[in-house]
Amino acid sequence: MHTLIDYEILRLIWWLFLGVLLIGFAVMDGFDLGVAALLPFVARTDVERRVAINSIGPVWEGNQVWLILGAGAIFAAWPAIYAAAFSGFYIALFLVLATLILRPVGFEFRNKLANPRWRAFWDWALFASGLVPSLVFGVAFGNLLQGVPFRIDGALRVAYEGGGLFELLNPFGLLAGLVSLVMLTTHGALYLALKTEGRVRDRARAYVRVGAPVMVALFALAGLWVAFGIPGYALTKAAVMDGPSNPLFKEAARQPGAWLANYTAYPWMVAAPAVGLLAPLAAWRLSARDRPGTAFIASGLGIAGVIGTAGVSMFPFLMPSNLDPSASLTVWDASSSQNTLFVMLVATLIFLPIVLAYTGFVFRTLRGTISPADVERQTNSLY
């Protein structure tokens, strides 16, 4: 089957699509995770917690589509990444899955009984369902930047040689996890400021005043650590951009400062870290001026800047190996076949606009705020 697009271009398009899907997940499902992680702190009574829960209750399932799309894209477009990641990060991803399962269960069961202990248990379950994924996703990115301990043999079989979950919880991995956690909880707080009334909204705005500058400081610290403390990866023998997906056809090495090389070669890429630093500060300022809608948009741009910074810094690497740098997986040697990428591209161009249109319709239909009086009038509602 002959495609209309060169293999090299298809691989680049799917690298961009992967970034778009990760950003979409972080922006859309990120505020759900952030609200859940903030639940014990912004809502102190049962009515206040119902206000917070009802702000995300009608939309969280639709937002989780972005997680499914992202995982599906990795599985179909980057099977080598899928195999290596789910082997190396198995325990961490299992932990994420276990806590994400708590979210629908918590929504379904919390309001079934009026018993305070029953509801408190599910409130903490919802808290865990927001805290753990927000932290672990950042830890995973932190470990990608440092390199993952795997090898690839002549039969292209991936052998992970890491030590498990606690090895991932290294100092830089934990810093990246904190960046993710504070970023998503601030995003969630801005959503609460936009969608709720009363004390929940007031506490959410108070969190933004602290969370946004702390997130910027942590992101800047992580950037300095990457620049001066973590060797990057560079190709020493160029990969064949339109050749077969065989990581062993290239050569690569760890080099100090290599993660900064793209900013010298392509100065426009500095826009990503600039947005990652400036947009959260803009959100902080807009929130202080009581403009929650534009503050929420600015927060989303900041998330895009942070994820984009990781992507453009590492390009063309997707999953570097710290045991055998030449076995690292890159955009040019870890993808599916040209035909597969083309068929998936056609399907994506058809269905992604439908997802976007549906998402826009839902949020427009459910626009408005939720007050304590609203949930008190609806004692028999699901949430």
- Residue 109 CB partners (closer than 8 Å, separation 6+): 122
Residue with tokens 């929940």: 200
Dist. CA 168–CA 172, nearest whole Å: 9
Band of residue 49 on the pLDDT scale cut at 50, 70, 90: very high
Q: What are phi and psi of 238, to 5 degrees?
A: -60, 140
126-159 pLDDT, tens digit each: 999 999 999 999 999 999 999 999 888 888 888 8
Per-residue confidence (pLDDT) for residue 379, from 0 to 100:
62
Per-residue confidence (pLDDT) for residue 82, from 0 to 100:
87
Looking at the chain, list the stretches that DSSP marks H as alpha helix, in order from N- to C-terminal side: 7-42, 46-56, 60-63, 65-77, 79-88, 90-109, 116-146, 165-168, 171-195, 199-229, 261-265, 271-288, 292-314, 338-365, 372-377
Residue 97, SS3? helix
Band of residue 382 on the pLDDT scale cut at 50, 70, 90: low
Dist. CA 368–CA 195, nearest whole Å: 6
Per-residue confidence (pLDDT) for residue 381, from 0 to 100:
59
In contact, 344 and 69? CB cutoff 8 Å: no
- The pair of structure tokens assigned to 261 is 């090389």
Per-residue confidence (pLDDT) for residue 112, from 0 to 100:
84
Dist. CA 363–CA 32, nearest whole Å: 14
Per-residue confidence (pLDDT) for residue 352, from 0 to 100:
87
CA atoms within 13 A on the CB side of 55: 34
Dist. CA 34–CA 127, nearest whole Å: 9
230-272 pLDDT, tens digit each: 999 999 987 788 888 888 888 999 999 999 999 999 999 999 9
Q: What are phi and psi of 52, to 5 degrees?
A: -65, -45
- The pair of structure tokens assigned to 184 is 């998503």
Cβ neighbours of 75 (radius 10 Å): 14
* Lowest-confidence segment of 104-108, 121-125, 174-178, 259-263 by average pLDDT: 104-108
Paired with 234 in beta bridges are 253
Q: Is the pLDDT of residue 363 over 90?
A: no
pTM recorded for the entire structure: 0.93
203-239 pLDDT, tens digit each: 999 999 999 999 999 999 999 999 999 999 999 987 7
Dist. CA 177–CA 180, nearest whole Å: 5
Q: Is the pLDDT of residue 1 over 80?
A: no
CA atoms within 13 A on the CB side of 297: 4
